Amino acid sequence: MSENSKTIQFKIVTPEKVVYSEEVTQLTLPTTVGQITILPNHESLVGVISPGEICLKKKIGAEKSFLATTEGFVEIDDNEVKIFADSADRVEEMDEKLILKAKKEAEEALKNREVLSKTASAEAEARLKKELVKLKVLKKRRK
């Protein structure tokens, strides 16, 4: 990419799929040290993503797009931003009823934590955390 590029090649990948892969002009994401906004020609960086909201702008003056993400890593280099996350969901693809159902199922599973294996307990905790992040971002961005 050129040093005077006006866009960033952005990709977010989960274990299941590539959630997003397009050029953007700006993105804001949650990290363990707070939110950071990335513009074209940003310094190289490797960091840890925190659960929360990713905000994208495809063009100057365009509407923003939003994603909910769980933990992961970000790599910024030469106008390319790659995020590797446990999960990421586009707000426009979220279904509140399905999120609430999954949240309730995870909460129910955790009520019986003493009979769950450590693995099953950890999976239920991760599911609950994921659904809570999605719900928070969805409610914030609901029009």
How high is the pLDDT of residue 88? 94
**Statement to judge: residues 23 and 84 lie in one domain:** yes
On whether both 83 and 100 belong to a single domain, the answer is: no
Write a three-state SS string for the chain.
CCCCCCCEEEEEECCCCEEEEEEECEEEEEECCEEEEECCCCCCEEEEECCEEEEEECCCCCCEEEEEECCEEEEEECCEEEEEECCEEEHHHCCHHHHHHHHHHHHHHHHCHHHCCHHHHHHHHHHHHHHHHHHHHHHHHCC
Q: Identify whether 84 is part of a domain.
A: yes
81 and 29 within one domain = yes
Give the CATH number for residue 70.
2.60.15.10
Q: Looking at the domain assignment, is residue 37 inside a domain?
A: yes
Model confidence over 93-116: pLDDT tens digits? 999 999 999 999 999 989 888 888
- The total domain count for the chain is 2
Q: Is residue 3 part of a domain?
A: no
- How do residues 28-74 score in pLDDT, each as one tens digit? 999 999 999 999 999 999 999 999 999 999 887 778 999 999 999 99
Q: Is residue 67 part of a domain?
A: yes
pTM here? 0.86
Task: Assess whether 78 and 111 both reside in one domain.
Answer: no
Question: Is there a single domain that holds both residue 34 and residue 85?
Answer: yes
Domain that holds residue 113: 95-141
Question: Do the domain assignments include residue 2?
Answer: no
